[in-house]
Structure 1
Amino acid sequence: MKPLQVLPGEVHCTAIRAQGAGGQNVNKVSNAVHLRYDIHASSLPDEVKERLLALPDHRITRDGVVVIKAQESRSLEANREHALARLQTMIDQAASVPTLRKPTRATAGSQRRRLAGKNLRGQVKALRGRVGRDAD
């Protein structure tokens, strides 16, 4: 299966002012990026959309919109690339189909060993009882 690519027309990037330290420059330059990606309106396959919506991720809103904020770099373009890379990672995670676990049974030998260990432990605990006086 080839990796799914995010189409540029489906992503909406908005330049916003970054938070944190930066002096006077941070107050006048919008270098952070708000990336919005509507899952329902995307061209992803339906099963990938369902798995993406089912992810326990705080960046996915109730309306099915992924909101990613990137402000690591001082460059607007670098922040945009960083946000797109995080979105792509998220989609790749949803595109991989989880393997189903095949339930297996414990072997007879492992059951015997487990029960023998329990029996031994019970004997050790039984020896911890009160020591009674012998009737003379």
Structure 2
Amino acid sequence: MIEISPNLFIADTEVDLQAIRAQGSGGQNVNKVSSAIHLRFDISASSLPDNVKEKLLRCNDSRVNSDGIMIIKAQQFRTQEQNREDAIARLVEWIKENTKVLKKRRATRVSKAVKARRKDAKQAQSQRKQDRQKIRW
């Protein structure tokens, strides 16, 4: 079980982890060892609640394809196990980030005292600039 929050879990069977060869430099080892991890997570087929699925499918992320499958490629580390943990951690972080309940914004107003202080500061700056000008007779 992959724990996202105390009341939100994903079964290990819902996440498809596949070992692939990593890209980039690495000498002779890079051509022989499959150390990168390709993580595939089908959002719509998962056991997550429907409202969480909707939020995840609505989010505009290039890693989610048109079929609703999240694809993460982890190849930062040299070992397959570290890349597997990294991919799962990135999936959990992405789900947490996109299921946050945002606090509703409360409309506020600028007080009269703040407006007055701003006006006084503007007038003082204007006076300072006028004092720097040449005096005309």
- Band the TM-score falls in, shorter-chain normalisation: 0.7 to 0.9
Partner of 2:118: 114
How far apart, in 2, do the equivalents of 1:107 and 1:53 lie? 42
How far apart, in 2, do the equivalents of 1:12 and 1:22 lie? 26
- Of the structure 1 ranges 89-98 and 53-62, higher mean CA displacement relative to structure 2 is found in 53-62
Partner of 2:63: 59
How far apart, in 2, do the equivalents of 1:120 and 1:55 lie? 49
Instruction: Describe the SS at the equivalent of 1:60.
Output: coil
Q: Once superposed, what is the RMSD of the aligned Cα atoms?
A: 2.3
Instruction: Describe the SS at the equivalent of 1:51.
Output: helix
**What is the TM-score of this pair, normalised by structure 2?**
0.79
Q: Offset of 1:128 from its aligned partner? A: 4.7
Q: Offset of 1:79 from its aligned partner? A: 1.7
Partner of 2:47: 43
Cα separation, partners in 2 of 1:109 and 1:84, compared to 1, 3 Å: same
Please say if residues 4 and 92 of structure 1, whose CA atoms lie closer than 8 Å, have aligned partners that are also in contact.
Answer: no
Q: How many positions carry a matched residue from both structures?
A: 133
**What is the TM-score of this pair, normalised by structure 1?**
0.79
Structure having the higher strand fraction is: 2
Task: Return the match for 2:101 from 97, 102, 120.
Answer: 97
Say if 2:12 is the partner of 1:8. yes
Structure 1: gaps of 5 or more residues: none
